[in-house]
Amino acid sequence: MGDPVQSDRPALRVLVLEDDEDDFELLRREITRIGWSQTSTRVQSRDELIAALQARTYDLVISDWSMPGFDALGALSVLRERNVDLPFIIVSGTIGEEAAVRALKAGASDFVAKGNLQRLSAAILRELREVKTRNERRDAVEALRLAVKVRDEFLTLAGHELRTPLTTLRLQVQAIRRALGRGEPVDAMKERLLLIERGTHRLHELVDRLLDITQVAQQGIALERKPCDLSHIVKDVVARFVEAGAAAQFEVKAERPVTGNWDDVRLESVVTNLVSNALKYGQGRPVRIAVDDLGKEALLVVEDQGIGIARGDQERIFERFNRAASGRSYAGFGIGLWLVRQIAEAHGGTVTLKSEPAAGSTFTVQIPKG
């Protein structure tokens, strides 16, 4: 009797090209008998076929070989014109061997004689499996294409970001060598050595980010939880930015401890990325940071007063290698906010954004205390 009905299997959506109502009902009963629930649509002409394809999607086409004014070859032509990839089974009592060969060459999947509908079950199952295989293969190819595209974008960004500090280092080293050759005292080179130190620090940060994204993309985020204080983490991060000469003032509200069972290194990355983002896009205006205890959750808010983010870009910026602002104006790999979301979600938390163009951005992180 064929494949039994499975309650968790969706109804088969069948498009039937048939001019005879009795034959249409016969096909419906046979599809039901062999174990499929179904929603079947009958069409009899080219225009009706086109309208049906525009109205909804289907899993399968069953077609009579010939109808008044229309036939299976015409239907196959319509599917090709619209790039519709569906199993196409001809069910007919009149098709001969030569016509069957023509139909198969035109793209038909199989043909079944109306007097031998027992073959319909095997034909449907086989064609649906082949469609599934084709779709999986197509999805795999598309996933590979996107992976290659992401890799190429990443390498382009990495090359651009690493080139700047490397160029600075090379120029400063060359300048020191020339100065030494002229016999200049070492004290005269202190400023150049300071620039070299800053350049190496920048390279170290960039390499750390490269390692972060590689590890998270390949292995996910493994948390090493222990009791820690979010207020303390925020103050430490801000102190490092101030020491490095951040081009903005900070307004920090983290007066009392907010403790939880978290991965302190990962939370430090969250705060660092959000603060770095606020400094980059904040146009030198004060950056506000607040920490609060919500009982079962901790709250972190980082607010800038800079260029803001359009609504259409607010979800995209949390994706890898995506930035709302042009890379020509703002450096970076476009992974900071992606890492923030990954780390927050690994802790069971969330990240939300409130922003408008030219009105600044507010990032809010809520994390269970664990």
> Whole-angstrom distance between the N-terminal and C-terminal Cα of the chain?
55
In 3D space, the residue among 94, 139, 135 whose CA is nearest the CA of residue 113 turns out to be 94
Tens of pLDDT along 210-254? 676 666 666 677 788 999 999 999 999 998 888 777 778 999 999
Give the chain's radius of gyration (CA, Å).
32
pLDDT-derived band at 315, boundaries 50, 70, 90: confident
**Mean pLDDT lowest among 244-248, 277-281, 352-356:** 244-248
Tens of pLDDT along 299-309? 999 999 999 98
Tokens of 105: 């060459």
Q: Are 337 and 319 in contact (CB under 8 A)?
A: no
DSSP-assigned states of every residue in 217-283: HHH------EEEEHHHHHHHHHHHHHHTT-SS-EEEE--S--EEEE-HHHHHHHHHHHHHHHHHHST
The CA distance from 344 to 357, in Å, is 25
- pTM confidence score: 0.50
DSSP-assigned states of every residue in 79-112: HHHTT----EEEEESS--HHHHHHHHHHT--EEE
Neighbouring C-beta atoms of residue 169, cutoff 10 Å: 18
The CA distance from 14 to 57, in Å, is 9
| pLDDT for the residue numbered 261 | 96
Q: Per-residue b/e over 201-237, b at no fewer than 16 CB within 10 Å? A: ebbeebeebbebbeebeeeebebeeeebbbbebbbeb
Dmax over CA atoms of the chain, in Å, equals 104
In 3D space, the residue among 34, 36, 33, 28 whose CA is nearest the CA of residue 9 turns out to be 36
The CA distance from 224 to 218, in Å, is 18
**Mean pLDDT lowest among 124-128, 150-154, 336-340:** 150-154
Sequence-ordered list of residues with C-beta below 8 angstroms from that of 200, at least 6 positions apart, any chain: 165, 169
For strands 287-293 and 250-253, give the pairing.
Answer: parallel
Q: Are 53 and 83 in contact (CB under 8 A)?
A: no
pLDDT-derived band at 274, boundaries 50, 70, 90: very high
- Indicate whether 150 pLDDT > 80: no
Instruction: DSSP letter for 4, please.
Output: P
If DSSP codes are grouped into helix, strand and coil, which group holds residue 294?
A: coil
The CA distance from 209 to 174, in Å, is 28
